[in-house]
Structure 1
Amino acid sequence: MLRPIKRRRDGTYVLRLDEDTLDLVRALAAQLDPLLDDPSADSGLRRLFPPAHEEDVLAEAAWQIEQGARLRDSRRAALGALDQRAEEPMDEERMVAWMQGVNALRLVLGERLGIEGNDDGEADVAEAEAVLEASDDPAAVEEARRRLAAWQLYDLLSALVAYAVRALEAGED
């Protein structure tokens, strides 16, 4: 089986992913990028921008003034790395940025799904599948489909991060 992310003998990395998957990742990055302008306006960005001083409003405001723009720029640069094409060589720095971009997408989706700790979504998925099997309510069925799709996307993003970590840890093949 081909690994979806591979470190080559020359030390570069390549994505062996289909263009549909890469297009999806790029589309998600394009949706997330404008939200970075004001992270406090969207609670879904909490994991990307966790408060540095939760108990001290003044210290948090000072931190945001001093470091907020740098963190937003870093997140934006990682999302920019997601424009990578399949089989196009990347150096290690670019591979790390690509992985960070995918992880940013995963963190935001995880926040939106309400994931806590090692939650694998099994209960949420089972509930959604039960609705699909038993419900005659079109709105409930649509919501169940949306939840299942979100969990599938979360699993895909998690797998991509894991493959990237393995590739970065791997020695030459």
Structure 2
Amino acid sequence: MNKKYTFYNIEVMQKGDLNGYIQGDITFKYNNTEYNHEFLFRFNDSSNGDNNKLVSIDYSYKIPYIEEVWPEIEKYLIDYIGKYKIEKDGLLLIKRDILFQKDDGLLQALLSTGLCENKGNWIIKCENDIKVMKELQKACSEHMKTVKNYEDYKLCFANETDYKDNITIK
């Protein structure tokens, strides 16, 4: 990715007027200063124009090199949404990587729920569903009761495409 901009607060919209869009913030550096702008990307709303198009970046006319990076930004967002799985009902689902201490017993406890998938090399994936994550945390808690100093151990469920987007379950 070009160092002239950075994405953050990316949100895939699945309801309401912005269903089928990604919105978020992007920081550009120009005039020796960083400036924050909002963007809107359409991936699934052909009634309003072509899909997979960067619709707008607010105040883009102020960014001196916007024409140079526009296609690059659009490609990044196409790749970003491509990592999502589109279900038949139109909702987008991401997978969560489960981050945990390497412990064979814990691995087996999680897999025995049938709610996650072992991808090998200690990479375990589950659906981005709070009910699934709660059940996996419950299995973790049951197993970790037997491990000294880890009685309150919490799993971390990270977005498979962006580990900064992670949650723990109580």
Which has the larger strand fraction?
Answer: 2
Same-fold status (TM-score > 0.5): no
TM class by smaller structure: under 0.3
TM-score by length of 1: 0.28
